[in-house]
Amino acid sequence: MTASIVAATFIASEGEYLEAVIEVGGQRLHVMDEFGGAQMAAGTQFQAGLSPMPSERDDWDAIFRANPVREKRLLRLDGWRYLALGVVTQVDPVICDCGLLQVENPFTTHDVRCVGAYVGVTLARLDACLA
């Protein structure tokens, strides 16, 4: 899985591999701290690699019904779980452009008719590391 590299501002961390809050593009994200946030001062700017971990619980119909407004964004569900809304840009493997990040392999298909479809996939976790 390839991380999306973004400019981030550190807000707070509960410790290494625990929940941290960063700001990216004006949006606060709750992420797993794999960047040493406990040693950072609030307001520190850094390059973060965001790595989404798709949930394997979404069913096909729910994925294709979840984004009727055709958005590209992350909606926080709870903790570091998100609903990633975006558009399928390729299949084999599936890649979804969700604005701040690309989600690889949120589901599997070889059907090129899915390219251009707007979807919503659950991210079990969003990790952040130093880029």
* Tens digits of residue pLDDT in 88-97: 999 999 999 9
Model confidence at 2, pLDDT cuts 50, 70, 90, reads confident
pTM of the model: 0.92
Q: How far is CA 90 from CA 44, 57, 64, 115, in A?
A: 35, 21, 15, 6
CB 58 within 8 A of CB 122: yes
Retrieve residue 125's tokens.
Answer: 């976790």
Query: What is the tens place of the pLDDT at every residue in 75-116?
Result: 999 999 999 999 999 999 999 999 999 999 999 999 999 999
Model confidence at 1, pLDDT cuts 50, 70, 90, reads low
- Among 40, 5, 3, which residue's Cα sits nearest to residue 25? 5
pLDDT at 3 over 90: no
